[in-house]
């Protein structure tokens, strides 16, 4: 590593008057949000009964949110690599591989911890006293407007509440963060770090700029004689929505340019189309950057003061398509990665996107099987399954330990409120 740099001056978020959240048992309350959190030995952190207080009403958003499955297929066709495709939830047990979070490094020093207890293969109970961390962090600008005529600035600084969970599955380390915001939105963050899976190769005697061995077809040289292999990570999240109640419907939002002509003489216009997804077959959807595609879960019986049906949108961020062939065994076992978005009608036994026992599956279990009966999705109890994908073509700067890489998606209120729900956040007192 070499000599260490000079220690930076600490940057500390303090709570001189105490934190802004309360934890009672496993129930958390913070800034109009209320929910329960459970450390699960398979899924890791599970959120239950997520609600938002809107004036005098407490309104439900989600019944349950969890990491349903995760698969990491590798892209080297060699016999020693082609079979590698770990199911980190269904095979390893994501929650059972939790490691104790350290205050001051993994999470802020004033985080509040909750324990997890699970049964080891030997049958003994094992407790992890710092499995879950709950803390607040700076969220940047919440909203702002500067009036140039009056020379007056109105801005608010945001705080965010984070529920964090860390695991180590063999060589990789992951943090899973559920983030609550003051404007009624949420964010799911997957943080990837740890050590890349690598193989040994003959080290060149005299490497030089542009050396052909620096890039292999199936990986990259990250150290002399070390190649980190191309791979992908697919995280599938199960979102059991209850937007203002359990009977919801599903829309797909696509933005499209209007053809230039009489209706669009200058060629600048575009519109946003809202297409209903009425059944499980039509709700198997792919990404579309060209159409800024996102999905909206609405309650058609509830409307805001402007007449909009109340809803929450799932907004993608980074994503990836699978590169394994549809006939590849690992791809078949992880059929949920065929589409990043699925929706099903609620069934209590349908919890894991690749099926209950992915290590015994020959393919087709889970979502591909569940949607065959093509249940209706209009005014039903809906479950949304979203897969975010990360394609990892390794860099030397990620060796020997990776800097943290971030991926995720957002849940945004759309018509759930009639105005910005964070207008009531007061101005922060200036620091002394």
**157, 194, 251, 310, 346 from 379: Cα distances, Å:** 38, 44, 12, 13, 12
Question: In the structure, what pLDDT confidence band is assigned to residue 13 with cuts at 50, 70 and 90?
Answer: confident
Look up 76 and say whether it is catalytic.
no
Q: What is the pLDDT of residues 294-333, one digit of tens each?
A: 999 999 999 999 999 999 999 999 999 999 999 999 999 9
Residue 396's φ and ψ, nearest 5 degrees, are -55, -30
Residue 243's φ and ψ, nearest 5 degrees, are -75, 110
Look up 172 and say whether it is catalytic.
yes
Return the DSSP state at 307. Answer: S
Q: What percent of the chain has pLDDT over 70?
A: 96
| From 172, 174, 352, 386, active-site residue | 172
- The token pair that represents 279 in the structure block: 């059944």
| From 88, 183, 244, 279, active-site residue | 88
Mapping DSSP onto H, E and C, the string for 144-207 reads EEEECCCCEEEEEEEEEEEEEEEEEECCEEEEEEEEEECCCCEEEEEEEEECCCEEECCCCCCC
Taking the chain, what is the end-to-end CA distance rounded to the nearest angstrom?
40
Neighbours of 21 (CB within 10 A): 17
Question: In the structure, what pLDDT confidence band is assigned to residue 204 with cuts at 50, 70 and 90?
Answer: confident
Comparing 147-151, 215-219, 374-378, which segment has the lowest mean pLDDT?
215-219
- The token pair that represents 391 in the structure block: 């394609």
Q: Quick check: 205 pLDDT over 70?
A: no
Looking at residue 120, its pLDDT comes to 85
pTM for this entry: 0.95
Looking at residue 14, its pLDDT comes to 86
- Specify whether the CB–CB gap between 180 and 37 falls below 8 A: no
Question: In the structure, what pLDDT confidence band is assigned to residue 212 with cuts at 50, 70 and 90?
Answer: low
Question: In the structure, what pLDDT confidence band is assigned to residue 12 with cuts at 50, 70 and 90?
Answer: confident
- Specify whether the CB–CB gap between 50 and 240 falls below 8 A: no
Exposure class string for 186-224: b at 16+ Cβ within 10 A, else e:
bbbbbbbbbbbbbbeeeeeeeeeeeeeeeebeebbbbee
- Specify whether the CB–CB gap between 387 and 236 falls below 8 A: yes
- Specify whether the CB–CB gap between 190 and 176 falls below 8 A: yes
Give the list of residues 6+ apart from residue 11 with CB closer than 8 angstroms, or none: none
Return the DSSP state at 363. Answer: S
**Count of alpha carbons within 13 angstroms of residue 41, beta-carbon side:** 10
Give the list of residues 6+ apart from residue 293 with CB closer than 8 angstroms, or none: 252, 253, 254, 285, 287, 316
């Amino acid at each position: 590593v070499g000599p260490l740099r000079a220690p930076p001056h600490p940057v500390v978020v303090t709570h001189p008057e105490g934190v802004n959240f309360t934890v009672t048992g496993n129930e958390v309350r913070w800034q109009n949000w209320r929910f329960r959190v459970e450390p699960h030995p398979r899924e890791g952190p599970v959120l239950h009964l997520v609600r938002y207080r809107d004036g005098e009403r407490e309104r439900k958003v989600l019944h349950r949110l969890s990491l349903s499955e995760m698969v990491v297929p590798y892209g080297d066709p060699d016999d020693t690599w082609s079979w590698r495709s770990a199911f980190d939830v269904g095979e390893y047990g994501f929650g059972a591989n939790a490691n104790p979070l350290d205050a001051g490094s993994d999470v802020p020093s004033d985080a509040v911890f909750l324990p997890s207890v699970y049964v080891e293969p030997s049958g003994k109970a094992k407790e992890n006293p710092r499995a879950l961390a709950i803390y607040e962090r700076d969220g940047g600008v919440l909203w702002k407007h500067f009036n140039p005529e009056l020379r007056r600035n109105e801005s608010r600084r945001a705080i965010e509440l984070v529920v964090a969970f860390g695991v180590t599955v063999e060589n990789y380390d992951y943090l899973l963060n559920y983030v609550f915001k003051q404007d009624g939105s949420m964010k799911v963050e997957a943080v990837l770090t740890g050590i890349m899976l690598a193989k040994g190769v003959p080290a060149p005697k005299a490497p030089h700029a542009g050396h052909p061995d620096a890039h292999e077809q199936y990986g990259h040289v990250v150290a002399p004689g070390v190649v980190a292999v191309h791979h992908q990570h697919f995280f599938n999240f199960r979102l059991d929505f209850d937007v203002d109640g359990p009977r919801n419907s599903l829309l797909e939002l696509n933005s499209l340019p209007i053809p230039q002509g009489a209706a669009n003489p200058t060629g600048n216009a575009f519109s946003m189309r809202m297409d209903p997804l009425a059944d499980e077959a039509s709700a198997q959807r792919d990404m579309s950057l060209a159409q800024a595609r996102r999905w909206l879960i609405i309650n058609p019986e509830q409307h805001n003061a402007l007449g909009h049906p109340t809803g929450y949108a799932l907004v993608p961020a980074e994503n990836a398509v699978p590169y394994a062939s549809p006939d590849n065994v690992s791809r078949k076992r992880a059929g949920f990665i065929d589409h990043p978005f699925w929706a099903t009608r609620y069934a209590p036994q349908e919890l894991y996107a690749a099926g209950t026992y992915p290590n015994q599956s020959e393919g087709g279990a889970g979502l591909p099987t569940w949607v065959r009966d093509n249940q209706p999705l209009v005014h039903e109890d809906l479950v949304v399954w979203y897969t975010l994908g990360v394609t990892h073509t390794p860099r030397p700067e990620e060796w020997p330990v990776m800097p943290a890489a971030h991926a995720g998606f957002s849940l945004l209120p759309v018509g759930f409120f009639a105005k910005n729900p964070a207008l009531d956040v007061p101005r922060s007192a200036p620091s002394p």
